[in-house]
Structures are given as C-alpha cells and as structure tokens.
Amino acid sequence: MDVSIEKSWKERLSDEFQKEYFTELVNFIRKEYSASTVFPPGKYIFNAFNHCPLEKVKVVIIGQDPYHGLNQAHGLCFSVRDGIAHPPSLINIFKEIGNDLGYSYPETGNLERWADQGVFLLNATLTVRAHSAGSHQNRGWEMFTDNVIRIISENRNSVVFFLWGSYAQKKGATIDRDRHLVLESVHPSPLSAHRGFFGNKHFTECNEYLIFSGQDPIDWH
C-alpha cells in the first residue's frame, strides 16, 4: 500500500503498511472520511512524521486522540492551528513552560515550531470522528503507533520521551530506558495537572539531558 508520508518514515514503516491490520484500518478510515466529518483533514494525518523525520527525532511527546472540535487538530498531539483557542491541556503545558523556563505565554498553540526542531508529537490514534472522542480507537492505530515508538527506541539514541498520564505511560512500556530518558508525570489536563504536572520541570530536565548527550536543546517558546 502506498502511503503519503515523509521518506525516512516510509522506508522504516514499509512492512507495516503491508500488514493486514493496516489494510483494514485504511479501509475503515476511508469509509469514515466519506461518510462523516473526521479530524484532522486527510492531508494532516501524518503531519507529525512529515515535520520530524526519524533521524531528527530528539523528543517524543505522546498524546491519545486528536482534538475532535472544528479546525483544531492538524496531526500534532496537543497542538492547534494558528488562531484557534488553546484547549485546557495545552494551556497547562504553556503554564508549566512559563513556570519552568520563565517564558511568556505564547500567542499561538501551533506546535510546528517544536516539531521542526525534532519534537515528535505523536497521538496514539491519528484520526477521530467530529465531536466523538475515542471514536477511532481500537481500529489499528494503536498497533501502528506502538510500532512507531519501538522504531524510535531501537533506531535512535538519547531521545527524551514525555509520558504524561497513565495512558501514555502504558504506551511507552517498551522504551529502552537504558538508551533514552523517560520523563513521567500526571497528565496536563485540568483534572490532574495540580497533582504533579505543574512543577515537574520536564522541559528543563529534557534540555539538560539533550545538552549532556551532545544535542542542541529545544526552544520551548
């Protein structure tokens, strides 16, 4: 199956695209896009991959579903397009960055500026039906993204993985912790952020590790 995705990822995932589960997933997704409103728009499904080739991955942030509201999702977890109101979890991420690094609150919630520096913003499920959270779960995306995480763990060195919340922590169970830095806390959701997300200093810890391992730090502005 020919999938439109960045070259280095296409090479690494070519076997995955031929598997039966992925064919079934694609058939399901095509039907969903033709029958109802699905986010993100089709051209953005692999946006995280297209902005961040495998050889440039330095940081991985794992989300769950794309946003399911109009004009929000564009293929990068926690990110929204320019001009779109910031969802609560993203607001809390920016608050922690401000507290941790002293940065002022940004105008845009578009995180392409992070992705282009090597921050791989991966949702476990890459599509969702409008206004229906979790509607594309358990259709094959999770198997696909588990393999993406495994590929990063096995083929890159000294990557920082942000695992916020129990879902992301389970998703990261196969990461080689001798080879990479894994930072865990509760989720930045308003329901849990005050129980350990605020004050986790993950952004400072990430940059210190990148510098120690001979890499450029991330500009988290």
| Active site positions, annotated | 65
Q: Which residues contact 8 (CB under 8 A, 6 or more apart)?
A: 53, 54, 55
- Whether residue 80 contacts residue 67, with contact meaning beta carbons closer than 8 Å, is answered with yes
- Whether residue 68 contacts residue 133, with contact meaning beta carbons closer than 8 Å, is answered with yes
List the structure tokens of 182.
């894994």
C-alpha distances in angstroms, 79 versus 17, 40, 148?
26, 11, 20
C-alpha distances in angstroms, 31 versus 46, 76, 121, 220?
18, 23, 26, 38
- β-pairing, 119-123 vs 59-63, is parallel
Q: 163 has which bridge partners? A: 184
Classify residue 195 by its DSSP letter.
G
Cis check: omega of the bond before 40, within 30 degrees of 0? yes
Q: Which alpha helices (H) appear in the chain, and where do they start and end?
A: 7-17, 20-35, 47-51, 88-101, 112-115, 141-155, 166-171, 202-212
